Structure 1
Amino acid sequence: MRPIRRHPLVTFFVLTFVIGWSLVPFGSFGAFAPLVAALVVVPIAQGRAGLVELGRRIIRWRVRWYWWALAIGVPLAVHLLATVLTSELSTLRWAATGDALLFFLLRLVNPTDGPLGEEPGWRGFALPGMQSRLSPLAATAILAVVVTVWHLPLAFLEGGDPWPVLLSLVVGTVGVTFWYTWLFDHTGGSVLLVLVAHSVEGAIDDDSVLYFALWPALAVVLVVADRRWWLRPAPVAATTSLPEAPGRVLR
């Protein structure tokens, strides 16, 4: 237990890879690995207080209305822009409204799917711990690499030529990680808002290269527009708790 308490982040990342990749030989992938790893590491490293804090982040819904609008609207806008730029609006694969809503809700509550299986771990645990020692930019850059590498087996499980899928996966995952950090921090550490954004992002079937390329473009815009925030130094007192964003969370 002592190594876990001394190196909780390292333990979390190792567990996430071991759990997630252990199913690859069987033709599957453990999308739930970050959630499981966090639920193993947090009570050992941080005790009951850590679990309570993680739970608060997961259900933190009291943010100003425009953050909800951005969490839902930005992924939809990226999908729409990609289809418009490629002149393929007619091929955009929308499900019926009821089916799309059901699919979104299932992704939101299904712990074996990407949003709920990943976000409590990546954003709820790993990101706050990294930002206690690093600037948001540095922490996100490192996390983007880790998350991208963790996802790589998916490119080879799809069948067919893996390289286009691999390229899209790498470019898209790196870019969207910056968006998720920005949303998470600016909502006072709301995993729920990132969960919603992640669920919306996967609610429309769009596998075009341009769609994935738009996420790093958005990441560049966010970094340039909010560069002082991205480069702010880590807190003097290194803890795994993320300071609240003043004035951005409704009490």
Structure 2
Amino acid sequence: MPRFRNWFQRHRLLSFFGLSYAISWSSWPVYAVGMMPRMEFLPVGPLAAAVIVIGLAEGRAGYRTWGRRLIRWRVHWAWYAVALLFPALLVLVTGSLNIVFGAAAPGLSQLTWSGLLMVFGVRLINPMDGPLGEEPGFRGYAVPLLQAARTPLLSATLLGVAVAFWHLPLIIFGGLSIIGLPITFVITFLYVWLFNRTGGSVLLTLLFHNSQGTFTMGSYGFTGSDLTRAEVIYLAVVTAAVLGTVLLDRPAWRTAPREATDVGPLPVRSGRSVPGPPAP
């Protein structure tokens, strides 16, 4: 058991991503041999992986550090506006451009505030949905480990690749279009930027993710080639937003705040502790 724990302590990032994939993809082999009627992708993988790895590698101190990031709410009100409204703005710009380019859409008249709020509320507390399933793990645990030894820009790049590939079963089994992979990669930079600018607040990235999934291209009713074009436009719009943060907020991509890199001490068998991660 000590040797097992030591391995997890030395390979926390590898352990986290390995478990995230294994849990989320767990029904894939069962489906492949015909024992399930369809492949069930489990978004709870990153959340469950973080809980397991912290317990094995860091213990109570790790849970306290992680927990503070999960509930960090004391940030400027403007960042709440960014988290809630920026994803909707990206969709509004995309939808408007798509209509300018000739898309036929029923419009947004079918949407209601009560309907949007209900969807937002359910997604916010459902661990089997993307926001709560992903954010505590990908942003709350993996980003601080990545940034402990890397710049935010490099950390976002590595995380973007890992998160995009994590969605691969959704592409294969029709739950996400192929362009969803580059979109996922690019928008990861916005998540990391928001996480760092709010002092490592998972709560704010959770709100951002929830807003992104509540008001979507589907809200416009695009279909067929119009929907395909909308996804391409959305990729371009998100890429422009990321480039805007890189060009206009360069310090944010050079150094992460301590709150977004502090992963807590690692317990050792002697009863003492060693600070930080010597090798994420």
Q: Structure 1 length as normaliser, TM-score? A: 0.87
Instruction: For residues 75-115 of structure 1, give each alpha carbon's deviation from its aligned partner in whole angstroms, at most 9, with x where no partner exists.
Output: 01001000111115643586321111011011111011000
| Structure 2 equivalent of residue 15 of structure 1 | 19
1:3 aligned to 1, 7, 17, which one?
7
Letter in 1 for 2:209: H
Distance 1:58 1:196 in 2: 12
Identical pairs, percent: 39
Q: Structure 1 residues 92 and 5 mapped into 2: Cα distance closer, same or farther (>3 Å)?
A: same
| Structure 1 equivalent of residue 181 of structure 2 | 170
1:140-219 alignment to 2 at 5 Å? Answer: 140-158=156-174, 165-166=177-178, 168-206=179-217, 208-209=230-231, 210-219=233-242
| Structure 1 equivalent of residue 220 of structure 2 | none
- Aligned Cα root-mean-square deviation (Å): 2.0
| Structure 1 equivalent of residue 35 of structure 2 | none
Letter in 2 for 1:211: Y
2:60 aligned with 1:48, yes or no? yes
Q: Point out 4+ residue stretches in structure 1 off by more than 6 angstroms.
A: none
1:232 aligned to 248, 255, 265, which one?
255
Distance 1:38 1:96 in 2: 36
Q: Structure 1 residues 94 and 23 mapped into 2: Cα distance closer, same or farther (>3 Å)?
A: farther
| Structure 2 equivalent of residue 102 of structure 1 | 118
Q: Structure 1 residues 32 and 233 mapped into 2: Cα distance closer, same or farther (>3 Å)?
A: closer
Q: What are structure 2's unaligned runs of at least 5 residues?
A: 32-37, 218-226, 265-280
Q: What are structure 1's unaligned runs of at least 5 residues?
A: 242-251
Q: Structure 2 length as normaliser, TM-score? A: 0.78
- Quote how far apart the aligned CAs of 1:234 are: 9.4
Distance 1:93 1:18 in 2: 41
Q: Structure 1 residues 133 and 213 mapped into 2: Cα distance closer, same or farther (>3 Å)?
A: same
* Cα pair 2:164 2:184 within 8 Å, conserved: yes
2:41 aligned with 1:37, yes or no? no
Q: What count of residue pairs does the alignment treat as equivalent? A: 234
Q: Structure 1 residues 234 and 197 mapped into 2: Cα distance closer, same or farther (>3 Å)?
A: closer
Structure with larger Rg:
2
Letter in 2 for 1:175: V
- Quote how far apart the aligned CAs of 1:73 are: 1.1
Q: Structure 1 residues 21 and 129 mapped into 2: Cα distance closer, same or farther (>3 Å)?
A: same
- Quote how far apart the aligned CAs of 1:217 are: 1.9
- Quote how far apart the aligned CAs of 1:205 are: 3.3
2:69 aligned with 1:57, yes or no? yes
2:155 aligned to 128, 139, 159, which one?
139
